[in-house]
Chains A and B, each alone.
Chain A
Amino acid sequence: QVQLQQSGPGLVMPSQTLSLTCAISGDSVSSNIATWNWIRQSPSRGLEWLGRTYYRSKWFSDYAVSVQSRITVNPDTSKNQFSLQLNSVTPEDTAVYYCARRGASFYFDYWGQGTLVTVSS
């Protein structure tokens, strides 16, 4: 059974960097089938896919246009986890952030528990 465990701070100052980690059990971040994603949810923006990382003989990452200048999603093979960094945050980045696996059938089949991140001074 795949499990995704999120960690990271719930409060970030404006203009600072939001950093979250998603630890994987029951699968590998280096899987040749799955992709590893970050999704956020807010009342104003709904569910919004932010970006992903995946391994297909080499590492790839790609991002939503809305955040692509500020986001990095990286794998950490030594700890079997992946991370989200979102730079220069504003209060509009306040949301519940989820990590999620996109599996062999292409939908999001496993999700982390969610982390409410508030951007405020």
Chain B
Amino acid sequence: DIVMTQSPDSLAVSLGERATINCKSSQRVLYSSNNKNSLAWYQQKPGQPPKVLIYWASTRESGVPDRFSGSGSGTDFTLTISSLQAEDVAVYFCQQYYTTPWTFGQGTKVEIK
């Protein structure tokens, strides 16, 4: 199985400041058919299912604010919230969809400082 490891487990950021979450996969997740990394980022708020923010490591889902961005390659990926808003308080997960079993990171809780 591909193990997804996120860091940090939690972080507190002031409103308007940048939040950065890292995700490391235990092996490469590059999909050869389109030369893109099979990596998605989800946001989960209490009592709700996860909601996709980013797919193919850097493609923003329709309707997602542009303060959310994804980057990375190889086995190291990053989700950046450029200017944290109150509504961004949530838990964020990375997920690889390169091969079954599909696996998720353990989650990073983002709070307001």
Residues of A within 8 A of B (CB): 37, 46-49, 62, 64-65, 98, 100, 102, 105-109, 111-114
Contact = CB atoms under 8 A, between A and B. Distances in A.
A102 B101 CA distance: 13
A49 B56 contact: no
A46 B97 contact: no
A113 B102 CA distance: 20
A81 to B, nearest CB: 17
A108 B95 CA distance: 9
B102 A105 contact: no
Interface residues of B, number: 22
B97 A106 contact: yes
B77 interface: no
Contacts of B106: 46
Contact of A64 (B38, B56, B101, B107): B101
A46 B104 contact: yes
A112 B49 contact: yes
B81 interface: no
B101 A107 contact: no
A107 B42 CA distance: 10
A98 B51 CA distance: 12
Contacts of B56: 105
Given A108-B95, A111-B50, 14 more contacts: A47-B93, A47-B104, A48-B104, A49-B104, A62-B100, A98-B49, A102-B97, A105-B55, A106-B31, A107-B55, A107-B95, A108-B40, A111-B51, A114-B49
B101 A49 contact: yes
A120 B56 CA distance: 40
Report which residue of A47, A100, A102 has the largest number of chain B beta carbons within 10 angstroms of its beta carbon. Answer: A47
B101 A47 contact: no
B32 to A, nearest CB: 13
A65 B101 contact: yes
A98 B107 CA distance: 17
Contacts of A111: 49-51
Contacts of B42: 108
Contacts of A48: 104
